Structure 1
């Protein structure tokens, strides 16, 4: 799967679906000169969590200079839900504040209603757009077939699933010039301390590459440390699953280690140069881990996507 159920033993981090990062997307907006950042959380929403976690910081990090550390960060925090209502505040931090996990920096949006119904709530301020709430999950894959030794079922895991979407559209100049890197993080306050419980950028990494006993440490880690910590064990995974020689495995892993998704706006968008809502990342990861032996799960992208902001489709009925 993509980044769903990214805690140990295919469970949500801390056993809490509200803290479960499912996917990250970055692509050009329908309007020229703008970029879309989407962070989805809470698989199977809203049945495993009816609102965003009020003690969590949801964050999208931007690396503008290639050192795999945040130079710009957008943080999203949510009020305590009451009576089926919740609000969101969005902040933009730069420099040292961007490298911390706290919600810091300038407030871009304050007390924006979260949409839990069919229609999204759209907010706009200073050339930026924001929306958060229940949306259809754009992730598509034959997970049953993958789990059954690639005996394909023709069933799309995500076709009827919902997530909580966080969608931010910003002017390109917010993200620096040229190429930038992006990754998402979910942290939650425990005993007065903010603890990182999930993070990622590239799809379907932790499920394939991380042993159960290291998943919590991975989710707490920083991309700048990824190659030192995970290059050798991930090379061993590729040797086992795809028959890679060490040098070939190391070369393949350059794309995903560190776990920062790069986007060069001068080149056509398409994973791994950014990620659109229709990119077939499942096929890309299957081909990678199998050494090219498995290249297609025969499941295509969803057809309920919107052509303009907030791009994510309307939520499926819950019942």
Structure 2
């Protein structure tokens, strides 16, 4: 699967679906040259009949952007949701640069305050200066035959995610806000305050990494980590995984992992977005990961992208009933 249910034993991180980072996307804004779309999908409550749509109030949902290639945040957008009241909820957006972008708390300038979070079909689009923003319940754009993957790649022909919803956090910003050069790195993170300190309970950028590569007892540590440490901590372990799943040589496995370690989604905005250069909503990342772990022996699951994607902001389709 993508980054859904990224805690141990296919459970949400910290046991709470509201804290689950499910996907990260980056692509050029259609029909708006010089602008980039960033999307962070969270809250895999649709997997859990006892779940509910409201994001975790007070948690810091964050998109980190690296503009100089050192795998550390130079720009950060933090999103903090209010307590739900009578079914309604708002979100405040913070924008930070430099050292403030590396703070575990929501730091920097408040660029939007108390924006309504929508749970119906019509999104609320907020515009303030250079930022176009929306947050709310949307159709989950990820697509995969997860049942087939879990049954030793015996395909069912059914898209497990077809009727699921997520909370979509969508931004459209001028390119220069994210960095001077065309290349940026991007990852998402979710942190909560525990006993007076902020703890990262989920993080990631590339789809389907922790599900395939990390042992169950290593997932919490991975979610708490930082991309700058990924190569040192995980390359040798993940090389062994690829040797086992795909019959790679150690050298070939290490070379294949260069795309996903560190866990930063690189996007050269001078070139069209197509995973792994950024990620569009219709990129078949499931097929890409299946090909990677199998060394090309498994080409894909036969499931295609969803047809409810929008050609205009916020791009994610309306939520399912």
| Fold conserved between structures, TM > 0.5 | yes
Q: Provide the TM-score with structure 1 as the length reference.
A: 0.98
Cα deviation for residue 147 of structure 1 reads: 1.0
Q: Distance in 1 between matches of 2:24 and 2:280?
A: 9
Aligned to 1:214: 218
Listed one character per residue, the Cα deviations across residues 119-161 of structure 1 (whole Å, up to 9, x for unaligned) are 1111001021110010000000011111111111000011100
Task: Describe the SS at the equivalent of 2:221.
Answer: helix
Aligned to 1:282: 286
Q: Distance in 2 between matches of 1:250 and 1:50?
A: 40
Aligned equivalent of 2:109, options 106, 118, 121:
106
Aligned to 1:118: 121
Q: Provide the TM-score with structure 2 as the length reference.
A: 0.97
Aligned equivalent of 1:75, options 74, 78, 85:
78
Q: Distance in 1 between matches of 2:53 and 2:285?
A: 28
Listed one character per residue, the Cα deviations across residues 258-305 of structure 1 (whole Å, up to 9, x for unaligned) are 000000011121000000000000000000000100011100000000
Q: Distance in 1 between matches of 2:86 and 2:193?
A: 23
Aligned to 2:27: 27
Select between 80-89 and 39-48 the one with higher mean Cα deviation.
39-48
Matched, 1:4 2:4: yes
Cα deviation for residue 49 of structure 1 reads: 2.6
Compute the RMSD of aligned alpha carbons.
0.9
- Runs (4 or more) in structure 1 with deviation over 4 Å come to none
Q: Distance in 1 between matches of 2:64 and 2:226?
A: 11
Cα deviation for residue 171 of structure 1 reads: 0.7
Cα deviation for residue 43 of structure 1 reads: 1.2
Matched, 1:264 2:265: no
Aligned to 1:202: 206
Q: Distance in 2 between matches of 1:192 and 1:308?
A: 41
Aligned to 2:170: 167
Instruction: After TM superposition, list the pairs within 5 Å mapping 1:37-48 onto structure 2.
Output: 37-45=38-46, 47=49, 48=51
Aligned to 1:93: 96
